[in-house]
Amino acid sequence: MQTKAVKNIATQTYQLIRLVWSRALRYQVSLRAAHLTLATLLAAVPIITIVFGILRLTPAMVSIQDSLVAYVETHLAPGSSSTVIPYLLSFSEQTKNLPAAGIAMLILTALLLLNSFEASVQAIWQVKQKRNIRERLLTYWAILTLGPIMLAVVMSLYGTLLSYQITGDYIPDFLKGIFELSSYALYFLMLFTINFLTPNAEVKLKPTAISALIGAIAIAILNSIFANFAQFFASYKIVYGAFAALPTFLVWLQASWLIILLTVSLNATLHKLDRVKDHIKLE
């Protein structure tokens, strides 16, 4: 009986993978990931400028900036982020000298990235009815404003746990677990939020959580691969010098967007299977 159950699970898993892969191919997920990678390069400086501008509104959050940058450098494109991030921060600082029209163009660039991602999600979900401009702008602005604030709160909790660990104070076991799993929890929350809020359709919690969990594990594995093979990517410095960090960062960014869009494809497939099951039950 156990062997039969294992075979059934394996068969269902294989069929699910085939359905997800078929959906990914049908809606050109790899091409959309490449498009979002390019859009991210263009929107990276505007988004950083907006995030830090929001954090500077509250004195308590200003002190979190350095911790936030260090945290991002640790978990963003291991092996290249320590080179790329300082450049992006430097470019962001230069935006202070821009006129009002320039600032408006930066905000527009960030909004276009969010719009491109939303269009990809709606296509994968086969959603034809789009949100109106007012709803989209409100959603994008909420992401650009509430996102940094939530991240700052998480970083504050992270810093508190880290200070307790450094000073040797007693930390409950469950808090130690949270501390060790904080990166994975952030990946999960990010993917869950994206998959739950972006589709213009009825979204259920369970399949969305499953998709986000699998995506978080995949991103963690990707970062582990980049961290373990950092010396391999560093060999590019012999030829390209400091410029070697850019192709490494691009490969990581492309792979990350591909994982994100595959989680969207998985979530849409799971919802479709749920609708089929519900229809069979009604019959």
Under 8 Å between Cβ of 71 and 155: yes
Per the structure block, which two tokens stand in for 180?
Answer: 């060790």
Average pLDDT for residues 5-34, to the nearest whole number? 86
pLDDT of residue 185: 77
Q: Give 67-105 pLDDT, tens digit per residue.
A: 666 666 666 666 565 666 666 667 666 666 667 676 777
pLDDT of residue 67: 63
pLDDT of residue 283: 44
Q: Which residues contact 119 (CB under 8 A, 6 or more apart)?
A: none
Mean pLDDT of the chain: 75
In this prediction the pTM is 0.80
pLDDT of residue 11: 80
Rounded to 5 degrees, φ, ψ at 229 are -110, 25
Nearest to residue 48, comparing CAs of 13, 20, 81? 81
Concatenated DSSP letters of 173-226: HHHHHHHHTHHHHHHHHHHHHHHHHSSSS---HHHHHHHHHHHHHHHHHHHHHH
Under 8 Å between Cβ of 137 and 107: no
pLDDT of residue 250: 82
> Identity (one letter) of the amino acid at 271?
H
pLDDT of residue 282: 40
How far, in whole angstroms, is CA 101 from its chain's centroid? 29
